[in-house]
Amino acid sequence: MLISESLGGDLVAISVAILTVVVAYYKWTYQYWRRRNFPYLEPRIPFGNTDNPFSPKENAGIRVKRHYDMMRAKGWKHGGLYSLLKPSYLALDLECVKNIMTKDFQYFTDRGLYYNEKVDPLSAHLFAIGGQKWRNLRTKLSSTFTSGKMKMMYQTLVDCEPNLLQKIENDRVAKVPTDIKEALGCFTTDIIGSVAFGLECNTFAEENSPFRKYGRKVFTLNTLRLLKITLISSFPNAAKNLGVVQTPKDVSKFFINLVKDTVSYRENNNYTRKDFLQLLIDLKNNKLAEDEGYKHDGNTLSIEEIAAQSFVFFIAGFETSSTTMTFALYELSKHPELQDKVREEVNTVLAKHEGKITYDAIQEMKYMDQVINETLRKYPAVPLLTRKCVRDYKIPGEDLIIEKGTTILISILGIHYDKEYYSDPEKFDPERFTEENKNSRHHYAHLPFGEGPRMCIGMRFGLMQSKMGLSSLLKNYKFTVNKKTIEPLKMKVKSFIPTAEGEIWLDAEKI
């Protein structure tokens, strides 16, 4: 009995000692920004300034916007945060943002995103990788996103238009509202699937098309994935040593096998197609280097690298564009006078192009550009950007140094809703993006695609398919919001990008 009591007492003492050490370490770590003389928001043990990953209360982009607003209210130019035990630097002042993204880019070349090429090859894509590997791949891929290449791929978009219109028409005839995000998700999945993999996805006809199934899975967050994200963002080296995998195994297997089979078929049958995958195959075989007239560096793309680039082009291309078109149609449905104005421009421009939505025609739609830019301001598909400081950086004009290895946060959502740059930011107003108004604002006050050398390489393609999809729909239908839509809109917590709770449901009237 006495031995049992003694053991019990020792265990309690050991537990108290361990807890004391852990709390002391937290408190010491949470003095990091104070020791470096940076302003910071007070963290809480054990999650710092982030949510409990088991029960998050808000979307990460919205949470960092809240931090942005709190710091701006204090008059700060920047400030410190903590994710568990990891310090993060939040840039507020647009000149600071400009320095990080462009002017002093050599200090912030990496995004600081986790990838593990050995066990998770799809994670080693252009968006995530850093250093010289990123530079080499960015240089190779830049030639695949020129205006000329976009024009070459445009016919694929046209080929996918009838299925989208048929979906809207079927719902209209059946007198049921359209889940517009799902309809547009099928449309962009068909486009990207065709352009990135050279395959017909048939997502409208095939409800459980593997492309839609696995595409959705990539953007679905459950508790396990949230825990993984927390681990890899706070302890990336430990995660890599433990072989933590981000991409679900079935998703990885599907896309890698798909690329291997498609590349093998094309090379064995001498078959070519005007799409993104073919451009990657040409890079693999040095052919693109010869065609473009530049000297190849001798490093060709592997099958895994081709799969990773096709994968990120697919997941980024279908989801971001469908999200942008969804929110654009929602706002135009709420503001019929703006919808009429866009439709009038579409009809006027198309009248000069034999009624066809050609590549050249959509380039002439300036008010459409304004609508899309305002949509991307209010609903940025990527509400939060990250960078990693790759060597010690002295902040210009201040006696402060950002240490090598520090995570940099840029709240796109915070900037886009900042009243200093946009009066009445909750209002949807395309007039903010007339040439005159754009020129009167700081260039870095609108960052839907990022800026500098790491800005979105697929920007042209994303805008092209968004403009084409909206032109087709508005030319043929007038949209209104169905009562099934939950208003005011509330964004899902467990989502990488802005997604409305309950989805957005629209009614279509044939014109």
- 205 Cβ neighbours under 8 A, 6+ residues apart: 163
Average pLDDT score over residue span 40-61: 91
Asked if the peptide bond before residue 46 counts as cis, ω within 30 degrees of 0, the response is: yes
> Domains (ranges, CATH) in the chain?
31-510 (1.10.630.10)
- Please state whether the predicted TM-score (pTM) of the whole model is above 0.85: yes
Q: Are 77 and 93 in contact (CB under 8 A)?
A: yes
Mean pLDDT of all residues belonging to the chain: 91
- 143 Cβ neighbours under 8 A, 6+ residues apart: 149, 279, 288, 292
Per-residue CA distances from 334 to 174, 220, 337, 390, 507 (Å): 23, 28, 9, 45, 12
Range in 215-224, 406-415, 422-431 with the lowest mean pLDDT: 215-224
Range in 154-163, 293-302, 323-332 with the lowest mean pLDDT: 293-302
| pLDDT in the model for residue 299 | 59
Q: Which two tokens stand for residue 86?
A: 């990891």
Per-residue CA distances from 503 to 169, 186, 330, 465 (Å): 19, 15, 11, 21
Q: Is pLDDT at 292 greater than 50 in this prediction? A: no
Q: Which two tokens stand for residue 278?
A: 């073919």
Per-residue CA distances from 9 to 21, 38, 288 (Å): 18, 43, 72
Q: Is pLDDT at 124 greater than 60 in this prediction? A: yes
| pLDDT in the model for residue 201 | 86
Q: Which two tokens stand for residue 90?
A: 């939040």
Q: What are phi and psi of 408, to 5 degrees?
A: -105, 130
Q: Is pLDDT at 295 greater than 50 in this prediction? A: no
| pLDDT in the model for residue 296 | 42
Rounded to an integer, what distance in angstroms lies between the CA atom of residue 384 and that of residue 453?
17
| pLDDT in the model for residue 235 | 83
Q: What pLDDT band is residue 9 in, cutting at 50, 70 and 90?
A: low
Rounded to an integer, what distance in angstroms lies between the CA atom of residue 143 and that of residue 363?
20
Q: How many CB atoms lie within 10 A of CB 94?
A: 19
Q: Is pLDDT at 53 greater than 70 in this prediction? A: yes
Q: Which two tokens stand for residue 274?
A: 């005007």
Rounded to the nearest 10 degrees, the angle between the axes of helix 147-174 and helix 180-197 is 140
Range in 278-287, 305-314, 367-376 with the lowest mean pLDDT: 278-287
62-93 residue pLDDT tens: 999 999 999 999 999 999 999 989 999 999 99
